[in-house]
C-alpha cells in the first residue's frame, strides 16, 4: 500500500513537472503573437482557432493556450494563412511589391520572363536589403535570344520591367530568326550562366518566339534539366485554339518527361485548358513534377508587337476582331486594324489588353486541384524607366491590367460567392507552388507555404467574409481590401491594411551559386554518336552476303 502511494506521488510529481515545463514554454515572450485567428494550413489541413507565436522569423508555437508577445495582432474573426507565393510576377520593383503585399503576397518571383543570365547575381544584389517581399527569378530564354540575335549590350538586358520592353522595341530578329548551331550554343550557354548563378529555373516566353524550333526548345529545357530545375513556359500557341493550346502544352510536357525535368505551364486558362489540366494531373500521378498556373481574368495583357496578335494570326487564324478584343489600358478604347498598325510602327512595346476567354470559365479555374494561382502582374507603361515613387497614391499610378493588384482578392471573392472551399484557394496561393518548387531542391520553399511550427513566418491574415479585389480594367492599380495584415519573415509589413514604409525584410529565393557551368556545347558529331547506330566493318563483304 505504501509502495503504491509512493508511486502515485512520484507520478503526480512528474505530471506537475511536465505541466510546469509546458507552461514555461508557453509563457515565454515571443517577438510576435497572432491571437484568436482561424489558423489554416493547406498541407496538413489543420483548421482551428489558435494562437501563433513567432520568434526570430519562424513559427515556434501554434496552440489554443494564451501566448504573450512583444508585439501582437488580434486576428479574431480572421483567417491566418501561409503567405501567398506568386511565381509569375513581372513588376519586380518596390511599387510593384507594394501592390502585391496588399493582395496578400509575401514572395514574388518571375519564372516566366526572368533575368538575362549573366546578370542574375547583379539582380539579386539589387534587391538585397531593399525588398519588402521575398524575391526570386529564373534565367531568361528571351533575353538570351535577344542578346545573340540582336547583339544588344548587356546594359540593355536585365529583366521584364526593363529589357522585355527595351529588347522588343529593338528589332524583330529576337523572335523571328531561326538559330544556327553556333547561335544556339551561345544562347544556351547564356541561359546556363544564369542557372550557375543560382536562378530558380529557365524562363521561356516561347509563344513570342516563332523562330524557336522544336530542337531549340528541347535544348532550352535540357539546360534546366541539367540542374534539376523547372522550365516555365508561355506556350508556343498561346493564345490559340482548343487544339493548338494543348499541343503547346504537350510539347513542353513531352520534353520534360524525356529529360526527367520539372516543367511549368504558364497561365493555361486559355482554350483547351481542360485537356491541359488532365495532362498535368495524370503526369503528377505518375511521379512527374509538372504543374500549371492560372489567373482569374478573361483577358490577358501583352506588348502590341507580339507575333500572335498580327492580323494573320489574331484575325485570320483565330477569328478575332481588334474592335472587340484589343483594348488600350490607358484610354479604355478598343483598337481598330488601322490603329493597331499605327501604334505598332510608332511604339512596338506598347501594352494592350486582350479579351480571349468566356468569364463563366473563371470559377472553374479556381477549383482546379493542384493548380497554382499566379498573377502575371504587368508593370505600368514606362515603369521600367521612371517608376512612380513608393508613396504614390494607388489611384494615381498609371493603369495596367487589374491582375497586378487583384489576382488573389478575386480568387478569394469567387470562392466565397461560389462556395469553393477556402482551403483550395489557400493551397493554390501558397502550398502548391512551395511544394512543387521544394521538390526541385529549393530549400527556401521547403519552409514556406505552410502554417506549421518550424516554418518561416510568411503569413497572410484575411477576412474571409469581406476580402475582395478593387482593381478593374479601367483602374488596375486599386489594392485588394480584406487583407489587413501581412507578415514577411516574422516582420509585420502590412498593418491595418497599410503597407509600412522602409520595412524591408524580404529574403532571396535562390539556389546556391556554383563554381562551374554545366552546359556542354551541342555538335552534330556528338548527336550522331549518341543517336545513330555505329558503322560495322564487314571485312569487305556486303551485309546481304552474310548468312
User: 10-residue block means of pLDDT along the chain (547 residues)?
Assistant: 44 38 59 98 98 98 97 98 98 95 98 98 98 98 97 93 84 95 98 98 97 98 98 95 96 98 97 98 98 97 91 92 93 94 91 93 98 93 74 94 97 98 98 98 98 98 98 96 98 98 98 98 95 83 53
88 within a domain of the structure (yes/no): yes
- Whether residue 386 is found in the same domain as residue 257: yes
Residues 305, 183 share a domain: no
pLDDT of residue 162: 84
pLDDT at 23 (0 to 100): 38
In angstroms, the CA 448 to CA 312 distance is 45
- One domain for residues 258 and 318: no
Distance (Å, rounded) from C-alpha 250 to C-alpha 497? 43
**In this structure, are 471 and 323 located in the same domain?**
no
CATH number at residue 278: 3.20.20.140
The answer to whether position 118 is within a domain reads: yes
225 and 92 fall within a common domain: yes
Q: By residue range, what is the domain housing residue 351?
A: 299-356
Residue 40's DSSP bridge partners are 47
Element (H, E) at 258: helix 244-259
Q: Is residue 272 part of a domain?
A: yes
- The answer to whether position 527 is within a domain reads no
- Is the peptide bond between 295 and the residue preceding it cis, with omega within 30 degrees of 0? no
Could you tell me if 245 and 328 lie in one domain? Answer: no
Same domain (yes/no): 315, 412: no
Asked whether residue 326 falls in the same domain as residue 288, the answer is: no
Closest CA to 249 of 232, 265, 273: 265
Looking at residue 21, what is its pLDDT? 32
Q: CA-to-CA distance for 139 and 111, rounded, in angstroms?
A: 8
Residue 490: inside a domain: yes
DSSP secondary structure letter of residue 522 = -
| Domain assignment present for 187 | yes
Query: Does residue 261 sit within a domain?
Result: yes
Final residue of a structural domain among 316, 331, 356: 356
Q: What is the spatial distance between Cα 415 and Cα 396, in angstroms, rounded to a whole number? A: 30
Q: Which of 321, 356, 391 is the last residue of a domain?
A: 356
**Burial profile 182-192: b = 16 or more Cβ within 10 angstroms, e = fewer:** eebbbbbbbbb
User: For the chain, how many structural domains are there in total?
Assistant: 2
Cell numbers representing residue 510 in the block? 535562390
- Does 253 lie in the same domain as 197? yes
Q: Do residues 303 and 425 both lie within one domain?
A: no
Q: Are residues 345 and 235 in the same domain?
A: no
Whether residues 247 and 344 fall in one domain: no
Amino acid at each position: 500500500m505504501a509502495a503504491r502511494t509512493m508511486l502515485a506521488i512520484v507520478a503526480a510529481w512528474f505530471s506537475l513537472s511536465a505541466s510546469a515545463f509546458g507552461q514555461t514554454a508557453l509563457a515565454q515572450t515571443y517577438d510576435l503573437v497572432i491571437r484568436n485567428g482561424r489558423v489554416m494550413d493547406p498541407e496538413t489541413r489543420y483548421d482551428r482557432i489558435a494562437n501563433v507565436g513567432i520568434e526570430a522569423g519562424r513559427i515556434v508555437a501554434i496552440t489554443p493556450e494564451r501566448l504573450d508577445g512583444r508585439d501582437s495582432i488580434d486576428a479574431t474573426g480572421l483567417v491566418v494563412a501561409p503567405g501567398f507565393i506568386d511565381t509569375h510576377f513581372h513588376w519586380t520593383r518596390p511599387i510593384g511589391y507594394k501592390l502585391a503585399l496588399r493582395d496578400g503576397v509575401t514572395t514574388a518571383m518571375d519564372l516566366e520572363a526572368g533575368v538575362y543570365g549573366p546578370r542574375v547575381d547583379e539582380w539579386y544584389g539589387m534587391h538585397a536589403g531593399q525588398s519588402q517581399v521575398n524575391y526570386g527569378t529564373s534565367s531568361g530564354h528571351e533575353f538570351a535570344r535577344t542578346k545573340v540575335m540582336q547583339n544588344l549590350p548587356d546594359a540593355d538586358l536585365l529583366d521584364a520591367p526593363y529589357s522585355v520592353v527595351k529588347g522588343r522595341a529593338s528589332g524583330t530578329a529576337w523572335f523571328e530568326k531561326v538559330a544556327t548551331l553556333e547561335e544556339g550554343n551561345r544562347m544556351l550557354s547564356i541561359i546556363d550562366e544564369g542557372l550557375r548563378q543560382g536562378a530558380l529555373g529557365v524562363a521561356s516566353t516561347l509563344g513570342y518566339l516563332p523562330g524557336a524550333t522544336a530542337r531549340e526548345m528541347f535544348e532550352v529545357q535540357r539546360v534546366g534539366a541539367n540542374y534539376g530545375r523547372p522550365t516555365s513556359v508561355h506556350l508556343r500557341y498561346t493564345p490559340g485554339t482548343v487544339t493548338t493550346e494543348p499541343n503547346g502544352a504537350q510539347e513542353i510536357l513531352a520534353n520534360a518527361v524525356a529529360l526527367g525535368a520539372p516543367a511549368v505551364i504558364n497561365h493555361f486558362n486559355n482554350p483547351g485548358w481542360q485537356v491541359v489540366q488532365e495532362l498535368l494531373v495524370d503526369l503528377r500521378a505518375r511521379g512527374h513534377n509538372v504543374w500549371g498556373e492560372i489567373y482569374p481574368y478573361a483577358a490577358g495583357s501583352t506588348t502590341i508587337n507580339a507575333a500572335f496578335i498580327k492580323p494573320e494570326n489574331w484575325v485570320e487564324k483565330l477569328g478575332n476582331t481588334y474592335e472587340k478584343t484589343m483594348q488600350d489600358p490607358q484610354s479604355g478604347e478598343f483598337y481598330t486594324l488601322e490603329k493597331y498598325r499605327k501604334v505598332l510602327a510608332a511604339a512596338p512595346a506598347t501594352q494592350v489588353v486582350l479579351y480571349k476567354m468566356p468569364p463563366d470559365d473563371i470559377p472553374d479555374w479556381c477549383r482546379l486541384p493542384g493548380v497554382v494561382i499566379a498573377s502575371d502582374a504587368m508593370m505600368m507603361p514606362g515603369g521600367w524607366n521612371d517608376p512612380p515613387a513608393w508613396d504614390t497614391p494607388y489611384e494615381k499610378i498609371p493603369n495596367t491590367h487589374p491582375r497586378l493588384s487583384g489576382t488573389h482578392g478575386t480568387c478569394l471573392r469567387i470562392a466565397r460567392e461560389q462556395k469553393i472551399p477556402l482551403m483550395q484557394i489557400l493551397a493554390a496561393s501558397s502550398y502548391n507552388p512551395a511544394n512543387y518548387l521544394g521538390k526541385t531542391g529549393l530549400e527556401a520553399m521547403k519552409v514556406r507555404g505552410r502554417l506549421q511550427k518550424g516554418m518561416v513566418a510568411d503569413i497572410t491574415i484575411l477576412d474571409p467574409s469581406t476580402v475582395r479585389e478593387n482593381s478593374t480594367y479601367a483602374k488596375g492599380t486599386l489594392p485588394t481590401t480584406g487583407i489587413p495584415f501581412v507578415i514577411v519573415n516574422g516582420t509585420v509589413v502590412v498593418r491595418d491594411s497599410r503597407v509600412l514604409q522602409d520595412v524591408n525584410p524580404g529574403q532571396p529565393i535562390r539556389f546556391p551559386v556554383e563554381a562551374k557551368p554545366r552546359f556542354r556545347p551541342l555538335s552534330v558529331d556528338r548527336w550522331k554518336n549518341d543517336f545513330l547506330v555505329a558503322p560495322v566493318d564487314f571485312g569487305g563483304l556486303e551485309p546481304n552476303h552474310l548468312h
